[in-house]
Structure 1
């Protein structure tokens, strides 16, 4: 080896891998007797059996020789680390004995050494130096020779390498001891869980693996021979793997196959016994079993990770980290046993694995703790459920009652047959809820007397479905009866069977917006199984187990009144069916619908003809089902059409998911001749706001799709509080709900159930706010027009006087234009909401005639107006924009310019364009310098049409102002 080829030779460490001279069956005493034997060249690290082509029958021994040349005169010590060896050897440097390991006599013996790495230190003379390593092969199961790399370096580097490895092992041992003590204390104080015991045993066995591997710290303090240390190495690693699997199984119960686990435990125990009892030669010869078992842990961990991830359990990421760390540690141990690495101990993967394992354990512990806390909170909440139920019941009963009172008050002004029918419907709805409460109590106490008799199911189903035809009128839902013609009768109480069908079909209709509801049946084991299948929204799997409990509401994601109730219907069905020795089940998936199936005993020996047929008198008591679902959107539209107010009345938009509430509000507000539109959700309301202008929005807070809060928030993005008032309807009276209502832009709120007088008062007040805002803008525009600037007035008069006697004809034209302009400027029509386009253009022409006569060719005018145009616009809107264009665009420009007034028509809207080629301006300063007239015009556009002015301008090129009028508003009247 050439010393000069070593980089940074003053401080270095390097592997002495490569070609050495090897003298088989020869022990070199000194450098002189080297020449008496012919060497062969061996590539280290490698067993010397690989160097000898024909293996000798005797126990081989040999010597390795290395010459180091060009050693500088540093006058310092160097070190050579020889890895752990199970064969004895001696080391000589420059014919001086440096050290030996084991029994290095010429008579081969079984080794009694402890087999750990040793570092020898020596001096090198300047120039050439020789290193001789002689050794014996003492065990046929162990490869002879230098099978691992030798590390050579200066004293400082070798000491750093040695102590770094030792210190890292010591640190790991201290950490493991801390974990061990902490776990034992937890186990002693009372947490007597298997997982805790397995974790303590895992930590202890892992601690043993650390002190018997790499630097073998145990051998520093306990002198044991290599047989015991080797067996301890194998034993500790297999035991660690066993405790790890047992702990993992305890931690993730159900994720490791029990049969596989038992086989693995038995195999590990058998191999552990074999390690203890068998001779060391046999243990070495079965190392393949050790490697197989050692790599089973990462494989099992990967399987557990996969199952945990599939089950969507928490901690899969932590387990993945642990698996990676354990796999890396296992790979390092195997490499380190076969080769020499710069660091004989690598602690980080093992630390990460233990920390991740304990972290996963603690996470599961805290998860269970949180679950316990949640159960405790839920238990406390259950204590208040009775009070909450009474509160909900009070609301559910008071709301129909107030609806009845509101309609009754509206009938004082006007009586209609439809109102009376609606009043009866609400009364039956209220009676149905009261019957449900009473039935539940009697069913729980089993105090109901059943009139059991053979009943024809076919006729009951047909009669109930006929009743529901009114309920689904106007909805895209089909009721399908798919029952066999030879269906046998069942032994039930007729009235209770009707109640079951009504509850189940009513529930299906409530949660089905479109599709079908099918009733079908089949016979199995002397029972008739009847199924009711809908194509509705479905029920989550996690909630299907609780839907038959009293007062349970599984539709938490739908907070509209249409879907709300007391939560008693399914519970009553279950109690009734179980009283008939039957059962009821549910099968559902979100977005795919729901199927309720219940069983009833068949009346043996009877045919369909022998069963009693349900009479109309029996069903008449359930006519209450003409409830909120019988009022469809089509009926609402008809009612609105009948109650449409004159064009000068206020326009109100009511948003409520409950058609019954919409109907009541329609009847209450119709007495004031308001024009009323309705929407069943927020999305529909926003669409109607885009198509029409309204004076008031009345909205429930609880809406499907988007809430009332979000609806108000989106409205406020376009309209201010005075431009479009919002009145919220809320069943909740908590201060937080009211605060949120105001924060999202509500003007006022009314609590449900509604009081007739309160509702009317608040509606009238908010409409007056809207109308006052409109009047303010109109009067402001008229006032601005009336404030004719004095210089314009006097300049026009001076122009008239100057033309007298010079151009009398032109003077007459100017006088006529000025007269028309003054007359229209002070016209009371200017305070109207809108005026015909012809009226506005007449005012504009009068103004332009005056300016043209005054300034002559400096002002050029182009009018591009379609003929026979029927369009209403806010008064003084175009005139204000034209005047602004002349004053600030044309006149300041030397030579004047052209102003163009153009009206275009598209499929959806009209556009009025006022274009000038004047001086223009910087649009970034527009909002700070906009005149009062422009602001007023834009506010009126926004309030009347829901549009804004679109202004485009470039300095030196001119300005274009666009006024947009939707066609849906083009015929708007005052």
Structure 2
């Protein structure tokens, strides 16, 4: 790293120091080539090719005539008088100290005769840059330019020292140049910068190059000035931005008031004396702002004495520029030179110290030092008259500004990067904190719910004992802590913007009613509800969140009412519906919620902190739904009141909700206004009684034990397992359960996957599944229902909620069973007309030929009809011999019809008394006869086999008929048989309900079909 550092440092020295020095040396050498020294007012250019040599400086001895502005005509007369001989003076230089011009103020005339080659006729030009302070130029008696208006005194002179270019047509080989100069506004006068002479092309080229250098320098200060000052407006604490911006602004003013003096062109109303004042003040503050910027950038290396000294000198110069006449304050140039040398030396000192400490951006510091040194060198050489061309200055100034801009940008990039890293860390820590709080809340909530539920159960058992009061206290504490955890979870979700809010059309009165029904009658003393606006319009809000808000505020009102009457009112406003809660102390909710919630404060109790958090969450929920709350009173009361209002639903939303309600056959409940009698009559919800078997699949042993205790009172047979694999195994081995409760998160196979596997063997109506969820993610509910769950219960359940949901699902299972049994009995009673017609025709035909056989067939038909109309088939199971009796009767009638085309083989063994579902074999035999055997001309054989199997008994009905095609076989499971008959789907559904089994169908087209099912041994006991 050090190797590359020194290489870069060496490269910057070569680029920014050696190359500019080489340019300066070359420029000093070339100045002699571009100027021919004049002697005693004459310059000889006989041997110079003016078309190729370019413009030349007319430096050397000019003749000066103090006192009067003269013209060529005056000189023609004066040549005859020795009294009018001029004084030879050096140009460029000030005329201070010359006879008649000792103070620098006065009027004089310069004269120079230029001898050119004999063939030099053409258009020539003359260019001036700085003649103090007014001038007029003549060539061969023709006025070609000037600046201002020279006069004989201060009143007759108009200062206007601006660059000038004039052109003239030369006839002959001599140019007589006369320049009138007057100065009454500056401390020094005369031609202080060289005058250029040459052809038109040479002068234009020189002028354009000068303008380019001028505007490049101005732009080099303008752009950084705008950038830095705008940046400072955004970052006012960064003083270096202001200091460097001030340096660029003052440098820009210095440039605009020197050289081309563009300030006069840009501001027409600005007089030249104002330009002189701006020159002096901007020059002083250029060095002040430069020194202040470097010191503030590196305050460690600043010297307080030098800081004050630079400031004092700058203030003195500024005061002189504002208060003194221009001819007086211009004498402070020496003080300005001292200020500039002191400031630059100070800047170099600080920068060198910074480089020696190897601070950040050392290369930029080195570039700044080198550019400042070059600027100082150029100004010194120019001040002593050795270097007129200052074209290197724009380059060095741009390098300095770029180096400082790079330092600032680099610094801010470093600060921005640091801020971004800190922001990312803060966001990560904030996310971790929220996740920790959320996960901890969930972890805390479950034990709290378990405590509350167990205490509630024990409280009911110990209602007559002395421990009931203590258990009630435990229940209340656990529920209060559980509510606080719920509020913490809501607060975390609201803060992260993840809180759900599902807007829909909601009627406020039913929501209020449902919330108040949660409270026992004794908890609502003096409770009054009034509807101030009949038929208030529906809201556009989240029904669950509205209920949560009402519940929170009702609980707050009850706590602060102190047993006094609490009144509720519902009132429709312009575009909102308001719920007004009036109670003593309810107004304090507005002041309590205004503070930002914290979960602990030293000056309040845990109850007060929990109350404040809940109110803050309530306020955020109200605002989330576009609601408002404010203090107000009821029209008939003077008590404190709190009004919560929500926006009403639009007509489009109401129409859409009405259409959905009509399609589903539901109606919205009406609001009575006063339902205290209903509350008094209502009691704690009771779970339905009855019996059934429940399988709980949950790896949380504590949760499973709590659920067993809560459901054990319902006279249920409960089995618990800790994994999905154990649950599947138990479902297969122990037969069907009436309900399966599955936790969403299980080790290994997830709860959703277990539900999907259950649904592969049992329909949603045949085996209900209750899915337990944490309720953290919005998609959990949808995923659970898609997997096949009948219901989903969030784990933070109340005892009554669990019992109600379990009772509902058990009732569903029981209803489905009753429906299937009823369907079976009624379907059996539907005798097929063509079967009865065929059976009677067969008996009539046999009566004439074989009366005893006809009698036997009538007996079989009587048995068949008696079994068909037997409503004892509502039972779940019948003995196998009863089912076989129906089968034999059916086969006896069919055999009489088809003679030897139908052959029957029945093998039962010792299983005639095993219980089987009614109508589980006869429909299979009927399908085999009608759709298999009778479709073959030669007929076939039906074989009925009941044999022991590994887990019970296996019933098989097979035939050697036409078989079933693959397409038909894929549809057979959903078929309901022929019209009005008992289909295979009914048998399969009953088998799943009773045994968790289903029909197994195998078929080979042209060879036959085999249909079988298993009966578990436990069921056959």
Give TM class, smaller chain.
Answer: 0.3 to 0.5
Larger radius of gyration: 2
Specify which structure has the bigger relative contact order, considering alpha-carbon pairs within 8 angstroms and separated by 6 or more residues: 1
Give the TM-score of the pair, scaled to structure 1.
Answer: 0.37
